[in-house]
Amino acid sequence: MRESAIVTRDLTKKFGSLIAVNNLNLEVPRGKIFGILGPNGCGKSTTMRMLCGVIRPTSGTGEVLGYDIMKDSEAIKQNTGYMSQKFSLYQDLTVEENMQFYAGIYSLSNKEARKRMEKLKEMTNLRGKERALVSSLSGGWKQRVALACALIHNPKLLVLDEPTAGVDPVSRRIFWKIIHRLADEGVTVLVTTHYMDEAETCHNTAFLFSGRLLAYGSPNHLIKELKVSTLEEAFLSLVQRETGEEVEISFKSFLN
């Protein structure tokens, strides 16, 4: 078994003339939480969607769990759980019906499905909400249902695209507790976030900017290397280096 859950080589995605992801070389170790940071539109979602087989790369290669993302995307799907940035479960189904549906789609036996659903309801604290229509749930609860569905087939890799965007602080805390628990169980987690407190708890982080990888390493390593005191400052200093003084000043004055 290879050390890395994900390896990309010059992974590139163009939308017309726009280069959304530009020659990305990434390596995500197994069993670790890997955070992708970067401003809106820098190519985080596009990267994840290429890795999960939702869209096809323009050029470059990638391997997920040892499978080629172009040739073996079906094998990747059997072992990967994905939560897209836009909520994509069936709103007109109940929590339980959504979970049952995905259990069936991943060909779980009835017994396995029941066991798995019990475990996930426990883990995500969804008990008591089984019969609620998903459309009636608030954002935080919806994300937990999405997580439960993404985990129904016990995947080795979990890909989460801004899972806590617009979620209240308590739900965020609970969500990240689950993420850490999964990593402890050996699941590799690839996650994007705009919250620096969340990013700081990742084992590794990568900074994307305009589709390019700017920096890459553990939060402590990045802080040391950039001679700053927090991950947020590391982030700002990297963006500043790319865009020039002006942005930093305006950003600082905005913060103060």
Ligand X SMILES: Nc1ncnc2c1ncn2[C@@H]1O[C@H](COP(=O)(O)OP(=O)(O)O)[C@@H](O)[C@H]1O
Cα(first)–Cα(last) distance of the chain, in Å? 49
| 78 binding partner (options ligand X, Mg ion, other proteins, none; Cβ < 5 to 8 Å by kind) | other proteins
Q: Which of 236-251 are b and which e, b meaning 16 or more Cβ less than 10 Å from the residue's Cβ?
A: bbbbbeeeeeeeeeee
Q: How far is the CB of 222 from other proteins (least distance, A)?
A: 30
202 is an interface residue for other proteins by CB under 8 A: no
Give the number of residues in contact with ligand X, rule: CB under 6 A: 11
| 163 binding partner (options other proteins, ligand X, Mg ion, none; Cβ < 5 to 8 Å by kind) | none
Read out DSSP for 136-157? GS-HHHHHHHHHHHHTTT--SE
One character per residue 132-171, x = contact with other proteins (rule: CB under 8 A): -----------------x----------------------
Among residues 6, 20, 149, 222, which is the contact residue for ligand X, using CB under 6 A?
20
17 is an interface residue for ligand X by CB under 6 A: no
Contact call for residues 236 and 251 (beta carbons, < 8 A): yes
Give the number of residues in contact with other proteins, rule: CB under 8 A: 30
Contact call for residues 202 and 219 (beta carbons, < 8 A): yes
Among residues 102, 175, 195, 209, which is the contact residue for other proteins, using CB under 8 A?
102
Q: How far is the CB of 88 from other proteins (least distance, A)?
A: 4
CA-closest candidate to residue 250, choices 242, 193, 240, 241: 240
- The β-bridge partners of 26 are 8
* Nearest-angstrom CA–CA distance, 228 and 136: 44
Distance of CA 252 to the CA centre of its chain: 28
* Nearest-angstrom CA–CA distance, 198 and 242: 24
Instruction: Please state, as a whole number, how many other Cβ atoms lie within 10 Å of the Cβ of residue 163.
Output: 26
| 92 binding partner (options ligand X, other proteins, Mg ion, none; Cβ < 5 to 8 Å by kind) | other proteins
* Nearest-angstrom CA–CA distance, 18 and 100: 40
Among residues 11, 22, 43, 191, which is the contact residue for ligand X, using CB under 6 A?
43
| 77 binding partner (options other proteins, ligand X, Mg ion, none; Cβ < 5 to 8 Å by kind) | other proteins
244 is an interface residue for ligand X by CB under 6 A: no
| Residues found near Mg ion in the complex (CB under 5 A) | 44-45, 85
Contact positions vs ligand X (CB under 6 A): 15, 18, 20, 38, 40-46
